[in-house]
Amino acid sequence: MSQTDYQGKLDEFRKYIRKIKHYEEAVGLIYWDLRTGAPKKGMNERSEVIGELSTEAFKLSVSDEMGEYLDYFTEPDHQQQLDETNQRIVGEAKKEYDRSKKIPPAMYQEYVVLTSQAESKWEEAKETSDFAMFQPYLEKIVNTNLKFVELWGYEGHKYNTLLDMYEPGMTVEKLDEVFSALRQEVVPLLAEIQKAEKPDRSFLRQKFDAAKQKQFSLFILKELGYDFEAGRLDETVHPFATGLNPGDVRITTRYLPEDATSALFGTIHECGHALYEQNISPDLIGTNLCTGTSMGIHESQSRFWENMVGRSREFWSRYYGDLQRTFPGQLDDVSEDAFYRAVNHTEPSLVRIEADELTYNLHIMIRYEIEKGLLSGEFTVADLPQVWNAKYREYLGVEPDNDAEGVLQDVHWAGGSFGYFPSYALGNMYAAQFAHTLRQEIPQFDELLAKGDFAPIKEFLSEHIYKYGKSQTPNEIIRRVTGEDLNPQYLVDYLKDKYKPLYGLS
């Protein structure tokens, strides 16, 4: 085949990949609408539409035509003609093809419809704190995931196959190791803090107008560099970000009437995801690399912006006056230091998304243990409320009064996202490691935060992480940016350096 014919074949393949991405973008837009404002009575039909379109994209990804493209471009003579980006595109498509080819299309469509319906049913169940309402859907989701794992195959623990979907290369063995190292340091530090004097947080629990909360959230988003010409902010039950393409990355939040900070930090968290997606290289648009490389790296950015920026003393030295002016009379008598201490308090709590930095990883470890147990058959879906409550007593010394603040608090299982939760803790570890490097590369890091000048930080992250999308693996990124593999000690050091002075510990 001549070079002209070869290039024509490559152009056809790229166009084929782009077609799949178009289907996925359409599904993403419908999903966003379903979660942000679609009428409840349209839920079932909308779920069928999502299922239909998702299945069409799925069929394209496992078609004979896709197989022919992959056979052609994985031949040694043809493969070596590909540049690095196209090699990654082919490699990603082949990985998806090899995995998805094992799933019958009808089974896939049924699962997509099931999870769409389950997410809406989860909302109802959470609102009424009725796990029994959601249980049949979750049982089907777990059973289907077990079938998927058997079809895909696995090495070691069954959970490894699901982990790899969100964090390529991660295994139960590695997670057990890093989680154990983290737990050994966090639990004693938390015990020390529990004996120390607690900061006053009463001023955070008053009526804060939702419209003004939104006003301040929009202000902070603009300050951080979120591009509103490439996104929007909406309200939903469970905050999320959805990247349709780098020119359309939408985020959502929720406004609690008696908490000024929940929506704010939730918005900054989702902004971190959005900054990643908005700054992927335009060269990757329309390819299967136009997304974050893994959920762990993705979460590193949401946790970095939410906590290491948004909860820093320097951040509030710049923005606390703006917050006071947004809610006149409500925070006038609260000092900047008192506010900083209040938003960085730590204590065992029930709800993951409201948890502080120190205890947050314990919430993730609980979910990780539960997911492993479900996959191994240690317990069943029916056992979950009791298992959940027992693990909260064991890890955090607290127990929920109802299912809404317990086993029903997260939407992830309704969407079938088993293997996702560890990404949050991995994200915290990656974030601390990236932050350590940032402080070395940008010595004026704290001064920039205090001035509200985030552009140099965002530019560094865009240049070293964001622009690559999925064209590099998590390990390649962490090694290239920081010079070493994932190291939980950076998070341990960060937490100690932050919380010991806050609580007057030596």
Please count the helices (runs of H) and the strands (runs of E) in the chain: 21, 3
| 456 token code pair | 């140099």
The answer to whether the CB of 418 falls within 8 A of the CB of 145 is yes
Name, in order, each residue with C-beta under 8 angstroms of 71's C-beta and a sequence gap of 6 or more. Answer: none
The answer to whether the CB of 333 falls within 8 A of the CB of 386 is no
- Residue 157 counted as an annotated binding residue: no
Q: Name the β-bridge partners of 248.
A: 245
| 289 token code pair | 């690399």
| 272 token code pair | 């971190």
How, if at all, do strands 248-253 and 233-235 pair? parallel
Catalytic, out of 24, 119, 167, 270: 270
Annotation says 12 is catalytic: no
Query: How far is residue 265's CA from residue 316's CA, in Å, rounded to a whole number?
Result: 13
Query: How far is residue 245's CA from residue 269's CA, in Å, rounded to a whole number?
Result: 19
Task: Decide: helix, strand or coil at residue 366.
Answer: helix
Query: How far is residue 471's CA from residue 168's CA, in Å, rounded to a whole number?
Result: 13
- Residue 345 counted as an annotated binding residue: no
Give Rg (Cα) of the chain. Answer: 23
Task: Decide: helix, strand or coil at residue 380.
Answer: coil
| 74 token code pair | 């994985």
Q: Give the DSSP H/E element, type plus range, for residue 234.
A: strand 233-235
- Residue 299 counted as an annotated binding residue: yes
153: left (phi over 0), alpha (psi -120 to 50) or beta: left
Catalytic residues: 270
- As annotated, the binding site includes 269, 273, 299
- As annotated, the binding site for Zn(2+) includes 269, 273, 299
